[in-house]
Structure 1
Amino acid sequence: MNLRELQDNWWKEEVIYQIYPQSFKDSNGDGIGDIQGIINELNYLHQLGITTIWISPIFSSPLIDNGYDISDYEDINPVFGTNDDLDRLIAKADELNIKIILDLVVNHSSDEHIWFKKALENKNSKYRNYYIIKESQDGTPPNNWRSIFGGSAWEPIDGEKNTYYLHTFHKKQPDLNWENDELRNEIYNMINRWLERGIAGFRIDSITFIKKDQDFNNLPSDGADNLANIKHKTRNRPGISSFLSELNEKTFKKYNVMTVGEAPGVPYSQFNDYIGKNGYFNMIFDFKPADIDVENGSEWFRESNWTYDEYINLVKISQEALQSNGWGANFIENHDQPRAVSKLIKDSNFKNDIGAKALAASYFFLRGTPFIYQGQELGMTNVEWDDISLFNDISSHDNYERALLEGFTSEQSIEFVQNRSRDNGRTPFPWTNEEYGGFSSSKPWIAMKEKYPRINTTNNTVLKFYQEMINLRQHSHYRNVLIFGEIKFISNVPNAVMAYTREDGNKVIASLTNFNSKKVEITINNTIDEIILNTHEGISIEENIISLEPMQSVLVELGGNWS
């Protein structure tokens, strides 16, 4: 696939499928998913209709944070395969017109990276300045910043008195020092070598954390541990623009590739800098709607009592900001999020295929490129593990301990983890209802949600619904309006109804989703020319009134504007 020959902005027309490699498909029976497993299931992805695969990190790593702790940016972790396996995957995917993007993790490395090892071996090494290393005067950390995964963000260096290195995330993920020109150029050269190999781009991890306030001052504590959230000094800080502009100029801008920034903390007023005409990236993830279940996107024990109207309003504001400035990456699940059916469907009676289809239809036709996380297309739900030892995710253990420290009981603390754990989305993919779900012939690296999964790819109505949605967006005569059409949210509808139109000058499409647990009536001051998609078997329409059942979603073509 010659990416240089693709039209500009080709990424707007893609449907992206995120693979978490440990948990997708095991080809060699060791209980861990691998690259050959992805190759073996390319036909499944092709039949689903996706056009691009985003693979979470497959680079060399001790897997402390499941691959987001990279020890070699240009070598494949042997548990996943080899560089040759990746080349075969790129070639096989190309035969099916499927592109491959990789995860780029450059805020931090693993402490097992050769750079960090050399930094510790010799105080005078140039690699000492590849990381953020500070001395303390009194034997305590340089400041009171709390890492994202809990505890001090500073780790003492063995054998060096009062000397610490900074880790925004886990202690085995030391932050790279982006203030160092030489370090930045090493990163750019690595990126360009990957792009020359034929990948279609990158999802860029934690990129808003690369700039740190250089005063390294304390902050007012905000918890029982007397520490303060590090994000106030390290996320989207003044001066980050020079780093991101340089990154774009020296790498991405040279190639016709897709770049998707993980950009928490970016206010809407700065969206133009990130995704505008001269933005750093093609698109970014906006986490404000996704994090509605926790106050200010903070610790899991700070749960919010959100409503559907609040959620719909967050989606509306996000879409309007994205449309005004550039292009968005639309999602309801990823490797850091719980399952959407469990999180976003409030009524337990609909935490099933019905709720899964409603959520799917409500987000898939928003303006932007849709992302699907593995298992989302099956309607998978959260785990129900009641013992913290069953959880692999390091942030789950940290949040559990934080909740206990804040005075919550063990029962309350484990419930917070059940609701929010990243392991909810990391359990092995259930291909069949056989032992271990057809994922592996041996016990997986992490527990299955169910050893013999009830939800799997066989006769799955949610899967068929996703296929139908993808086909509509990609191949029907509604393609242009569903991809490029302007989005307008509709306000004159009942509470807990997400309603918006897509318009391109030729067609007007309305998406209506009833998140209520009761039937609602919606008045349309126009004709309905066609019912394009329906989560239910039927629909009641009398004159200009549509009646929607609980968790029913429809996509209809109108004879003109909404009203």
Structure 2
Amino acid sequence: MERKWWHDSVVYQIYPRSYNDSNGDGIGDLNGIIEKLDYLKTLGIDVIWLSPVYDSPNDDNGYDIRDYEAIMKEFGTMDDFDRLLDEAHARDIKIVMDLVINHSSDEHQWFAESRQSKDNPYRDYYMWRPANPDGSLPNNWGSIFSGPAWEYDETTNEYYLHLFSKKQPDLNWENEQMRHDVYGMIRRWLDRGIDGFRMDVINLISKTPGLPDATVHPGALYGDGGEHYINGPRVHEFLHEMNEASFGKYDVLTVGEMPGATTDDAILYTDPARKEVNMVFTFEHMDLDSGPNGKWDVIPFDLLKLKQNFTKWQTALHETGWNSLYWNNHDQPRVVSRFGNDTTYRVESAKMLATLLHLLKGTPYIYQGEEIGMTNVAFEDIADYEDIEIRNMWKERTEQGASPAELLRSIHIKGRDNARTPMQWDASENAGFSTGTPWLKVNPNYPEINVEQALADEQSIFYYYQQLIRLRHDHELVVYGRYQLLLEDHPEVYAYSRTLEGETWYVYCSFADHDVNIPSTHDTSDRVIGNYEESVITDELTLRPYEAVVFRTFEG
């Protein structure tokens, strides 16, 4: 495998709106990020991934872009962005931008032109269709954000496709001129000096010709159009063309967010010989606590399923392709609340989950606040939630007669605003995030969980993450070693080994809130890292609640 700089890098995702507010307007901004670069340098990360900072009407918190080459005023100016880039690079930290090109905002200049007339030069930059002869929608697809995927526009008496919000019309990737305009925009950002892209829902850009009706699942109001746009018929062609025309000419990181991508798909997307993207974000492990009715149908976490899933991805992409590793991002609830224990064993389980993830093969992604063990939030009133997905779901399901209490329970567990509450810097008002009123309420537990407290405690989650990052930087085994699952059927312990050139690391992670004894089958005298001070070893290895421990052995 040809070695790349991003193989041993650790990425830190910043959701700018919630990170650090430098001017007191209640919204995080670019200058606020600059103020915290030394903090990130202390943590030891190599790359910052910025969620969108482009000009946007903010219907979906910046994932609806009005101008791809301007900065949202709330976040600052292009001069501020250039200063962030320079200040980060001065600290040997790279900057990766979010690239949202499945759709734009309905306020983008292209769409404003497109909706003017059917013969406008920009008309086919988007996906317009007339109603069916019987007056029904062009097809039965549902929006991922609830409701139908079509919005009527009276100017031309036609509908446009929007897989997400009605203010996020889908771009028409069949239009060659549109594609090349996008590639030009990408090149201009790269020439500015950025270090790569995280590519939003990039495997949805190719739709089945004719946009046929989709299967309607029991209880659903609309068809599941994913069968006609997830990993669509021309997606590999488009990604290869994009690579050749833009980022393939630069030494940068590209990661594609790809819901519904299998390991077979990922091998194709990330095979260096195919020249598409460097790595993908899989969603499979994020759906393990979702029932048959989707995300909001919450079922208990099953460790055996997690083991099977991670093992499948670690094994499939070992020789060809590359994994991304993540627990959290701006769309996912906090992992310590989701798969750990965010009360009695918050610190122990946060460190355990970090150990499990960071010693796998792939590029790890840390989401802001993960490194101090931030938790989910449980607002009691739906009015306290800002996320469009939550609000649309609430409206649709309460109108259908669903129990508000049950819906709130699902939102508390799986809602995206769990990740978007402001970063908790200290115990002062608003967690030190802003001197103004935060755009989204702060998690009430900020007096106990914050950066100032973490930096003052040598045993904190923060310093544990710092150690894990150092291990990846210092040991090739962590980067390139072969993975093997151990204790495959154990219901409470995730154990695996990593081996490279005669050296093996054994990683043990307990998901239990009580002591668990497991066989001790190898030398345990060389301990690499652990979240308890010392290990308990007799004839067996005793793992205490949410314990993580790693041992190292050498052949001969």
Q: Same fold (TM over 0.5)?
A: yes
1:77 aligns with 72
Report the TM-score when normalising by structure 1: 0.94
Instruction: Tell me the SS of whatever aligns to 1:547.
Output: strand
CA–CA separation in structure 2 for the residues paired with 1:62 and 1:411: 32
Residue 338 (str. 1) matches residue 333 (str. 2): yes
The CA RMSD measured in Å over matched residues stands at 1.8
Structure 1 position 71, deviation (Å): 0.5
CA–CA separation in structure 2 for the residues paired with 1:92 and 1:310: 43
Structure 1 position 526, deviation (Å): 2.2
Residue 159 (str. 1) matches residue 158 (str. 2): no
Change in Cα spacing, 1:264 to 1:350, as seen in structure 2 (3 Å) is farther
Residue among 433, 439, 448 paired with 1:454: 448
Structure 1 position 322, deviation (Å): 2.4
1:227 aligns with 222
Deviations 1:524-555 (A, max 9, x none): 33212411111112211125x21111200001
1:92 aligns with 87
Deviations 1:474-494 (A, max 9, x none): 24xxx1111221111113673
Residue among 359, 379, 393 paired with 1:399: 393
CA–CA separation in structure 1 for the residues paired with 2:512 and 2:300: 16
Kept in 1: contact 2:287–2:295 (CA 8 A): no
Residue 378 (str. 1) matches residue 346 (str. 2): no
Residue 146 (str. 1) matches residue 145 (str. 2): no
Taking the TM superposition and a 5 Å limit, the aligned residue runs for 1:117-516 are 117-136=112-131, 137-161=133-157, 163-222=158-217, 224=219, 226-279=221-274, 280-295=276-291, 299-345=294-340, 350=344, 352-404=346-398, 407-450=401-444, 452-460=446-454, 461-475=460-474, 479-491=475-487, 494-516=490-512
Instruction: Answer with 499-508 or 50-59: which moved more.
Output: 499-508
Deviations 1:5-51 (A, max 9, x none): xx951111111000000000000111100000010110000000001
Kept in 2: contact 1:300–1:399 (CA 8 A): no
Residue 50 (str. 1) matches residue 45 (str. 2): yes
CA–CA separation in structure 2 for the residues paired with 1:192 and 1:444: 35
CA–CA separation in structure 2 for the residues paired with 1:492 and 1:427: 37
Q: Which runs of 5+ in 2 are unaligned?
A: 455-459
Deviations 1:136-193 (A, max 9, x none): 13333111100000000000003333x1000010000000000000000000111011
Change in Cα spacing, 1:73 to 1:348, as seen in structure 2 (3 Å) is closer
Deviations 1:231-254 (A, max 9, x none): 122111222221111111111211
Deviations 1:253-306 (A, max 9, x none): 11111001101111222222111132411111111112211136x633322333
Kept in 2: contact 1:16–1:51 (CA 8 A): yes
Structure 1 position 351, deviation (Å): 5.4
Kept in 2: contact 1:148–1:230 (CA 8 A): no
CA–CA separation in structure 1 for the residues paired with 2:307 and 2:112: 48
Kept in 1: contact 2:342–2:375 (CA 8 A): no
CA–CA separation in structure 2 for the residues paired with 1:546 and 1:493: 17
CA–CA separation in structure 2 for the residues paired with 1:45 and 1:370: 15
Deviations 1:179-224 (A, max 9, x none): 0000000001110111111111000001011011112222232254
Structure 1 position 53, deviation (Å): 0.3
Kept in 2: contact 1:147–1:169 (CA 8 A): yes
1:532 aligns with 528
Structure 1 position 451, deviation (Å): 7.8
CA–CA separation in structure 2 for the residues paired with 1:516 and 1:560: 32
**Aligned partner letter, 2:514:** K
CA–CA separation in structure 1 for the residues paired with 2:42 and 2:312: 34
CA–CA separation in structure 2 for the residues paired with 1:398 and 1:560: 58
CA–CA separation in structure 2 for the residues paired with 1:46 and 1:62: 32
Kept in 1: contact 2:516–2:544 (CA 8 A): yes
2:108 aligns with 113
Kept in 2: contact 1:354–1:551 (CA 8 A): yes
Deviations 1:405-438 (A, max 9, x none): 5653111011111111110000110100100011
Instruction: Answer with 31-40 or 319-328: which moved more.
Output: 319-328
2:57 aligns with 62
CA–CA separation in structure 2 for the residues paired with 1:24 and 1:108: 25
CA–CA separation in structure 2 for the residues paired with 1:348 and 1:67: 30
1:4 aligns with none
Instruction: Tell me the SS of whatever aligns to 1:325.
Output: coil
1:9 aligns with 4
Kept in 1: contact 2:215–2:224 (CA 8 A): no
Deviations 1:342-392 (A, max 9, x none): 1112x5654511211111111111100110000011101111112111110
Residue among 528, 543, 554 paired with 2:549: 554
Kept in 2: contact 1:437–1:451 (CA 8 A): no
1:3 aligns with none
**Aligned partner letter, 2:146:** G
Structure 1 position 502, deviation (Å): 1.2
Structure 1 position 401, deviation (Å): 3.3
Instruction: Answer with 304-313 or 430-439: which moved more.
Output: 304-313
Identity within the alignment, %:
39
CA–CA separation in structure 2 for the residues paired with 1:405 and 1:210: 32
**Aligned partner letter, 1:416:** S
Residue among 23, 29, 38 paired with 1:34: 29
CA–CA separation in structure 2 for the residues paired with 1:178 and 1:350: 50
CA–CA separation in structure 2 for the residues paired with 1:397 and 1:325: 41
Kept in 2: contact 1:301–1:403 (CA 8 A): no
Kept in 2: contact 1:429–1:437 (CA 8 A): yes
CA–CA separation in structure 2 for the residues paired with 1:173 and 1:485: 42
Kept in 1: contact 2:118–2:156 (CA 8 A): no
**Aligned partner letter, 2:406:** Q
Kept in 2: contact 1:399–1:417 (CA 8 A): no
Structure 1 position 122, deviation (Å): 2.9
Structure 1 position 560, deviation (Å): 4.0
**Aligned partner letter, 1:512:** Y
CA–CA separation in structure 1 for the residues paired with 2:187 and 2:89: 20
CA–CA separation in structure 2 for the residues paired with 1:77 and 1:124: 31
**Aligned partner letter, 1:326:** G
Instruction: Tell me the SS of whatever aligns to 2:371.
Output: helix
Kept in 1: contact 2:139–2:213 (CA 8 A): yes
Report the TM-score when normalising by structure 2: 0.95
Deviations 1:300-321 (A, max 9, x none): 3322333112222211112212
CA–CA separation in structure 2 for the residues paired with 1:8 and 1:558: 25
Kept in 2: contact 1:342–1:351 (CA 8 A): no
CA–CA separation in structure 1 for the residues paired with 2:222 and 2:79: 46
**Aligned partner letter, 1:417:** I
Instruction: Tell me the SS of whatever aligns to 1:500.
Output: strand
Instruction: Tell me the SS of whatever aligns to 1:336.
Output: coil
CA–CA separation in structure 2 for the residues paired with 1:350 and 1:497: 19
Kept in 2: contact 1:529–1:559 (CA 8 A): no
